[in-house]
Amino acid sequence: MNFTLTTLGTASAMPRVDRNQSAQVLQVHGRLFLIDCGENTQRRIREEGLSFAKIEAVFISHLHGDHVFGLLGLISTMGLYGRVEPLRIFGPAALEAMLVFFKKYFGDGLPFQLEFTEVKASSPVTVYENRYVRVSAFPLNHKIETYGYRFDAVPTPKNPEGAHQPSYAYVSDTAPFEELPSFVQGVDVLYHESTYTAEFEQQALKRFHSTSKHAAQCALDAGAGALILGHYSARCRDLQAFENEARTIFPNVFAATDGDVFEIPKK
């Protein structure tokens, strides 16, 4: 499988015994891309049998703790494992101060470099590219500066120009807004936060979050192939309710749990 997603954490701000905070790993031709890094991410990486050494880059959506509290511990552990390859980290400008703090107080002897790239975008912009994948960032509508990420495979000799190139988009914390479907237009798989079920719509909008129906409408408007839900509020325990609501708008829906693995494209 050359383009696969593993959901490490599907909780929102309040973790549960059976659900960790936001983190995902996208595997592209054997290289790993970590998307958000909530508390406990490094343990979840080990539980899923993934390699710290193969993490090529980290993409942080925003600086709320449930999306970033696990990053410094992960960096430290990578150092203990003897990583020497630089780690590229992408995120809002405020993330740089967090990394400077880490290097000042805990970075003595770290055997690899942290290469931070500030993400700043008012519309989709390419932030990273290698021979297998192109990553673009796009703005979201949350309380603080927040970005989603889109991963598009680039042609290779085994999957040449003209063949289908897999694509995946990660929409973290956001209230619905008009431009969002165009940012993720045509992706094979769309992950869209679904903090609340529809009965809590007013609370969702007040807190700049989405419901399962908001996520489904975005997937429909974007022409996505499949929709993955996550980032569930602790008060919403029945994941089937999220899935059932979303399917009234968009049929190909999966309410993710920690440890799910999706091959992209997902039919």
Q: Which pLDDT belongs to residue 17? A: 81
Instruction: Provide the whole-model pTM.
Output: 0.96
Backbone angles phi, psi at 140, to 5 degrees: -120, 175
User: Among candidates 93, 18, 33, which has minimal Cα distance to 260?
Assistant: 18
Q: Which pLDDT belongs to residue 83? A: 94
Q: Distance of alpha carbon 167 from its chain centroid, rounded?
A: 13
What is the identity of the amino acid at 267?
Answer: K
What's the CATH code of the domain at 84? 3.60.15.10
Structural element, H or E, at residue 212: helix 212-222
Give the CA-trace dihedral at 164, 216, 151, 157, to 10 degrees.
Answer: -10
pLDDT per residue as tens, the chain (267 positions): 589 999 999 999 887 888 999 999 999 999 999 999 999 999 999 999 999 999 999 999 999 999 999 999 999 999 999 999 999 999 999 999 999 999 999 999 999 999 999 999 999 999 999 999 999 999 999 999 999 999 999 988 877 887 889 999 999 999 999 999 999 999 999 999 999 999 999 999 999 999 999 999 999 999 999 999 999 998 887 899 999 999 999 999 999 999 999 999 865
Which token pair is 44? 């979840």
Backbone angles phi, psi at 251, to 5 degrees: -75, -35
Total residues belonging to the chain: 267
Q: Distance of alpha carbon 175 from its chain centroid, rounded?
A: 16
Structural domain for 224, as ranges: 3-263
Instruction: Sheet with 125-129: list strands edge to edge.
Output: 125-129, 133-139, 147-153, 167-171, 189-193, 226-230, 253-255
Q: Which pLDDT belongs to residue 138? A: 98
Q: Which pLDDT belongs to residue 160? A: 83
d(CA 137, CA 91): 9
Q: Which pLDDT belongs to residue 24? A: 98
Location of structure tokens 């696990």: 70
Q: Which position among 18, 36, 66, 260 bears the catalytic label?
A: 66
Cβ proximity of 192 and 210 under 8 Å: yes
Q: First CA to last CA across the chain, in angstroms?
A: 14
Does residue 66 have an active-site annotation?
yes
Domains identified in the chain, total number:
1
Q: Which pLDDT belongs to residue 266? A: 67
Q: Which pLDDT belongs to residue 267? A: 55
Backbone angles phi, psi at 261, to 5 degrees: -125, 130
What are the beta bridge partners of residue 31?
28
Q: Distance of alpha carbon 108 from its chain centroid, rounded?
A: 30
